[in-house]
Structure 1
Amino acid sequence: MEKQKRLLSVDALRGFDMLLISGGGAFLVRLKGTTGLPWIDWIARQLTHPAWNGFTFYDFIFPLFLFTAGIALSYSIQSGISRGINKKELYRKAFRRMLILIVLGILDKNIPLNVFDPAQIRYGTVLGRIGLATFITTLLYLNLSSRQRLYWVAGILIAYCAALFLIPVPGYGAGDLSFEGNLVGWFDRTFMPGRLLQKTYDENALLTQMPAHCLTVLGAFAGDMLQKQKPGYKKLLELSIAGIASIALGLLWSSFFPLNKHLWTSSFILLTAGMAFLFLALFYWITDVHGYRKWAFFFKVIGMNSLVIYLGIRFIDFDYSSKLLFGGWYMHVAEKWQPACNALGALILVWLLLYFLYRKKIFINPHCRKSSVKC
């Protein structure tokens, strides 16, 4: 029972993350300029990505998911070890999961998929990145100690920073972090097959995988913290210290290696990892230390089927369905409010679909066989 309580924090946190992807973000963005409230407009601006350098809250969404994937992976691997599953079998499951996510990612980003024109297929995807990150983290988790994994993260982030500053790019030289002249873009153009997202660059391609998987490694480290036989307040303290330290290091590093999601800079990794530690601490403090659990149900329903809704919003037009079902109601409000009302209706439909799956005990999660509570 105690294990289930701890994992509610993770399900709720993942659900909060997916809420912004599955309609919550669109609702807030469409409120911009309609209320006359500056703080609403500020929130809406936080839900768009910067053009290049800089940071908004929306940049945190994908890193947070990679982090929570690491938490779930920690529980899943520990559960497998306790059931006597050997390393070979754990490797096999992680590899199979990686292949499934890579294939689903390619389908997601290339619909309709033209299999006869591979040069126009985009291979760098969000789901593929999650699959690769969880596979690498599994290998590290099963062969290195917690301290050694932290050394690995430090080594990767330092090496990545050094590479971008020291390796010259043909025509631009070394240390060019512009969109046109950075090492990541040149590496993608030279070695990545298929179509790149920005034609000459793709933030989910090859080289950025190295710093990105560090978030999942750090997430597994957080999962280990939660599984320790310690009082809740001590776990909360450890998570908070890790978060504050990571944010401080990230901000310090950003003084010469800018925060940049497109490049997945080392400073960006540390900042978002620190934020993830603190968000996990907050959710853990509310649901587990203080025992306020009912509020988390809304997020839990989303978090337990995150893969379903990520693909669902790609293949199901919830906006159109919302217009059909709720248009007769919100057509009577001022026109400037109607886009936000439609987005809210779409969000309601998304949640009801996930609630139906929850009631039927249908949980499709890339990290667990049944659900993140029972993995």
Structure 2
Amino acid sequence: MKNRILSIDVLRGITICLMIVVNTPGSWSYVYAPLKHSEWHGCTPTDLVFPSFLFVVGLSMSISLKKLNRDNHRKIRNKLLKRGAVIFLIGLLLNWFPFYQTNIADLRIFGVLQRIALAFMLAGIVITLIQNTRSLILSLIALLLTHWSLLYFLGGTTPYDLESNISGTIDIWLLGSNHVYSGFGIPFDPEGLLGTLSSAAQVILGYLIGKNTLKHGKPGTKELNHLAVVSLSLIAVSLVWNFVYPINKPLWTGSYTLYTSGIITGFWAILIWVIDIGKKEKWTLPFKVFGQNPLASYVLSIIVVKLFIYVFKINGTTLYGWSFKHLFQRIFENHLASFMYALAFTFIIWLFAFWLYKKGKVIKI
């Protein structure tokens, strides 16, 4: 398609590929350190994956909303809101699937797709209402500072701790503890409602960077230099902010938003240099495949994982656990076996995405 920027497709595809890899180790007992999330404060390579998807959502919006103006902003906003609502519903159904396994009284409401949907909708409202670049910059700053203020002033003496942060309190008050993620040992949802503020800011930031970089079409050396400055500036600001406002993925703090956006911007600049300017494209096929149908690939990966765990059994053992033990652990050392399992699983999903790619099919929501 003439409006597609290959470096964005590849960045999106790399993101989806990594999302599936880090979500599907053969065993959570054997995971290499870079493929784990930070326990609380901090940022590992894995913690860059989810914000990368939100950032790419913003980049994509900078292309799809090029014809946004005062005459059509309401129509476009309504379309964005409907799309966001559908994505949220898909995420909710994925949490419930397979439907006999989880009682609806204990259904987790939030999740990865729900966070993407809410951030997408909030960012879409802001972008379609404001449009002016300077005002959008002020709006994303306002979102980050509002989130910080709520966490700081309503979180007691330790506002950024797991047990006392206001984000978890809001989700429990709003939904009840049964509908909140409990993987941290207590009810606390890393994709909770309050984090939507900084997540939406990340989408807006991606939109602004994309809008500025692509305003003359495909980017060149001038835009590349600008991206390098933006990348280093965002990282520098985030590291300074980190002294008083920790880089934290579960809370999705503003410092985390800027830090990850800075790294992702730098990585996109490298992809532009290699792909769009250097025309070195042969290696990109695996990621173009995922990048063409990112949401469908991710949704399928969750469905298949749950089928392997909850539905298909061999001698009373889940297909997921059986295949890891009897296929991969017999060949590789535990950690390598777990990693190879994740790669093999990702390849299975890739084959479906490749079939769609060869057919020229793009599943849109």
- Which bin holds the TM-score, normalised by the shorter protein? 0.7 to 0.9
CA distance in 2, matches of 1:70, 1:297: 23
Equivalent in 134, 142, 149 of residue 162 of structure 1: 149
Map of 1:15 onto structure 2: 13
One-letter amino acid of the counterpart of residue 143, structure 1: L
1:185 aligns with 2:141: no
How far does the alpha carbon of each residue in 1:290-326 deviate from its partner, in whole angstroms, 9 at most, with x for none?
A: 11122212111011111111111111249759988xx
Q: CA deviation at 1:46?
A: 1.4
Equivalent in 255, 258, 282 of residue 246 of structure 2: 258
Structure 1 vs Structure 2 CA RMSD: 3.1
SS in 1 for 2:363: coil
Q: CA deviation at 1:68?
A: 0.1
1:285 aligns with 2:283: no
Equivalent in 290, 301, 310 of residue 313 of structure 1: 301
Equivalent in 73, 92, 106 of residue 61 of structure 2: 73
The 10-residue stretch of structure 1 (353-362 or 116-125) with the greater mean CA deviation from structure 2: 116-125
Map of 1:373 onto structure 2: none
CA distance in 1, matches of 2:80, 2:321: 38
Q: CA deviation at 1:213?
A: 0.8
CA distance in 2, matches of 1:140, 1:158: 16
How far does the alpha carbon of each residue in 1:141-194 deviate from its partner, in whole angstroms, 9 at most, with x for none?
A: 223211111111112212222222223x5xxx3443211111111222222356
Map of 1:38 onto structure 2: none
How many equivalent residue pairs? Answer: 346
CA distance in 2, matches of 1:259, 1:65: 18
Map of 1:130 onto structure 2: 116
What are the ranges of 5 or more consecutive residues in structure 1 without an aligned counterpart? 33-40, 367-375
How far does the alpha carbon of each residue in 1:222-243 deviate from its partner, in whole angstroms, 9 at most, with x for none?
A: 2202322276011111211111
Map of 1:348 onto structure 2: 347
TM-score, normalized by length of structure 2?
A: 0.85
| Structure 1 residues 47-66: aligned runs within 5 Å | 47-66=35-54
How far does the alpha carbon of each residue in 1:205-230 deviate from its partner, in whole angstroms, 9 at most, with x for none?
A: 21111111111001111220232227
One-letter amino acid of the counterpart of residue 180, structure 2: L
Equivalent in 188, 191, 204 of residue 204 of structure 1: 191
CA distance in 1, matches of 2:345, 2:230: 37
CA distance in 2, matches of 1:355, 1:161: 42
The 10-residue stretch of structure 1 (270-279 or 137-146) with the greater mean CA deviation from structure 2: 137-146
Map of 2:77 onto structure 1: 91
CA distance in 2, matches of 1:322, 1:112: 18
CA distance in 2, matches of 1:202, 1:24: 19
Q: Is the 8 A contact 2:152 2:159 kept in 1?
A: yes
Map of 2:205 onto structure 1: 218
Equivalent in 274, 280, 285 of residue 262 of structure 2: 274
What are the ranges of 5 or more consecutive residues in structure 2 without an aligned counterpart? 309-318
How far does the alpha carbon of each residue in 1:248-294 deviate from its partner, in whole angstroms, 9 at most, with x for none?
A: 01110001211111111111111011112111111111111111122
SS in 1 for 2:179: coil
Q: Is the 8 A contact 1:17 1:65 kept in 2?
A: yes
Q: Is the 8 A contact 2:87 2:113 kept in 1?
A: yes
SS in 2 for 1:46: helix
The 10-residue stretch of structure 1 (354-363 or 341-350) with the greater mean CA deviation from structure 2: 341-350
The 10-residue stretch of structure 1 (255-264 or 23-32) with the greater mean CA deviation from structure 2: 23-32
CA distance in 1, matches of 2:256, 2:224: 23
Q: CA deviation at 1:331?
A: 8.3
Taking a change above 3 Å as real, the CA distance of residues 234 and 365 of structure 1, as seen in their structure-2 partners, is farther
Q: Is the 8 A contact 1:225 1:238 kept in 2?
A: no
Taking a change above 3 Å as real, the CA distance of residues 213 and 137 of structure 1, as seen in their structure-2 partners, is same
1:244 aligns with 2:227: no
SS in 2 for 1:131: helix
Equivalent in 94, 110, 118 of residue 96 of structure 2: 110
CA distance in 2, matches of 1:302, 1:284: 18
TM-score, normalized by length of structure 1?
A: 0.82
Q: Is the 8 A contact 1:67 1:216 kept in 2?
A: yes
CA distance in 2, matches of 1:244, 1:166: 30
CA distance in 1, matches of 2:106, 2:270: 43
Equivalent in 173, 179, 184 of residue 195 of structure 1: 179
One-letter amino acid of the counterpart of residue 243, structure 1: S
One-letter amino acid of the counterpart of residue 291, structure 2: G
Taking a change above 3 Å as real, the CA distance of residues 338 and 260 of structure 1, as seen in their structure-2 partners, is closer
